[in-house]
A and B are shown apart, each in its own frame.
Chain A
Amino acid sequence: MSAADPHRLPSSVAREDEHLLVAAAKNGNDASFEELVNRYERKILRLTRNITGNQEDAEDAMQDAFMKAYAHLDGFQGDSRFYTWLVRIAANEALMRLRRRRPGQFSLDQPLEGDKDLMPRELEDWRPSPEREYAQAEIQQILGHAVEKLEPEYRIVLALRDVEELSTQETAEALGISVSAVKSRLLRARLKLRDKLSRHFRRGGLN
């Protein structure tokens, strides 16, 4: 995006103006909607990528999410943040594509069986501060691989709950599942992520 783009507001504009942009967009000011897109397109692509695990599907889901948000802007009541509303639309688009690509391969609401697999396998100290020992780009790469290797149902709750920082209730609503289904998957997702990161961050681990 070039600095000369008329739709781009200066970065000094506070994030608190989101509701003003939304109100203007709802009143038919398309430039305001485009500014909202500029603001959130990278984050929404990260979300759809985290859910689908596939770049092509992620890009399509992102585009369709913004198109739907534009078409249904009148339906946004303002009882949540605009971004949370957008996340729900994008998560839906991404899930649809994931289900199409992997039919019947994962379930977000089936009860998880027992807790045999719950106990962590990797029990070694980590290096004191991974962030100081690895460059940011390396951390991102390690994290990206670890998240990609998680089963979809774990990747999805992690993406909504811990990356987009939706509440447990909002995550449950976005996915159309119960709060307890979110919690049981979130616990496993976090433990599995820790396990995978341990292989890199433990003392004397992979480089």
Chain B
Amino acid sequence: MNCKGVIRELSNYIDGELEPAIKEELERHLQHCEDCTMILDQTKKSIEILCDSEPIPLPPDLHERLHSALRERMGKKSD
């Protein structure tokens, strides 16, 4: 497997979705290719940073708007 082949399978590799034979081939390439190893590590790190991202704070009026719309709808249901 060459560098292009590794990059093409990078995402599947990270998600653990590769066939054992292809995974083995990819890992053999990683053992001697610093660039691909670096790209793999940085891509994993990017996903980690993304996973850790905090939900954005809700603008104060939005919470109120949402809940009053819901309560209005809930009120209609019980009419």
Identify the A interface with B (CB < 8 A).
1, 30, 33-34, 37, 41-43, 45-46, 49, 59, 62-63, 66-67, 70-71, 115, 118-120, 123, 125-126, 130-131, 136, 139-140, 143, 147, 158, 162-163, 165, 168, 183, 186-187, 190-191, 193-194, 197-198, 201
Partner of A190, one of B10, B58, B74: B10
Q: Which residue of B lies closest to A165 (CB)?
A: B51
**Chain B, residue nearest A59 (CB):** B62
A62 touches B49 (CB 8 A): no
**Residues of chain A with a CB closer than 8 A to B71's CB:** 30
Given the known inter-chain contacts A118-B8, A130-B49, please indicate yes or no for A42 contacting B70, CB distance below 8 A: no
Label chain B's interface by main secondary structure.
Answer: helix
What would 14 A/B residue contacts be, using CB atoms closer than 8 Å?
A1-B63, A42-B56, A45-B56, A49-B56, A67-B69, A70-B70, A118-B4, A123-B35, A147-B50, A187-B10, A190-B14, A191-B39, A194-B39, A194-B46
Q: Which residues of B contact A63 (CB under 8 A)?
A: 62, 65-66, 69
SS class, residues of chain A in contact with chain B: helix
Tell whether B1 is near chain A: CB-to-CB under 8 Å: no
Contact in complex: B69, A163 (CB < 8 Å): no
B24-63 CB mask vs A (1 if < 8 Å, else 0) is: 0000000000010011001101110111011111110011
Interchain CB contact under 8 A, A46 and B56? yes
| B43: contacting residue among A119, A163, A194, A201, CB under 8 A | A194
Where the two chains meet, the residues of B that have a C-beta atom closer than 8 Å to any C-beta of A are 3-4, 7-8, 10-12, 14-15, 17, 35, 38-39, 42-43, 45-47, 49-51, 53-59, 62-63, 65-67, 69-71, 73-74
Nearest Cβ distance between residue A33 and chain B, in whole angstroms?
8
Question: What residues of chain B lie closer than 8 Å to A131, measured between beta carbons?
Answer: 49
Contact B47 A162 (CB under 8 A): yes
B73 is contacted by which of A67, A165, A194 (Cβ under 8 Å)? A67
Q: Which of A37, A120, A140 contacts B39 (CB 8 A)?
A: A120
A66 and B11 CA atoms in complex are apart in Å by 32
Contact B45 A115 (CB under 8 A): no
Q: Which residues of chain A have C-beta atoms less than 8 A from B66's C-beta?
A: 37, 41, 62-63, 66
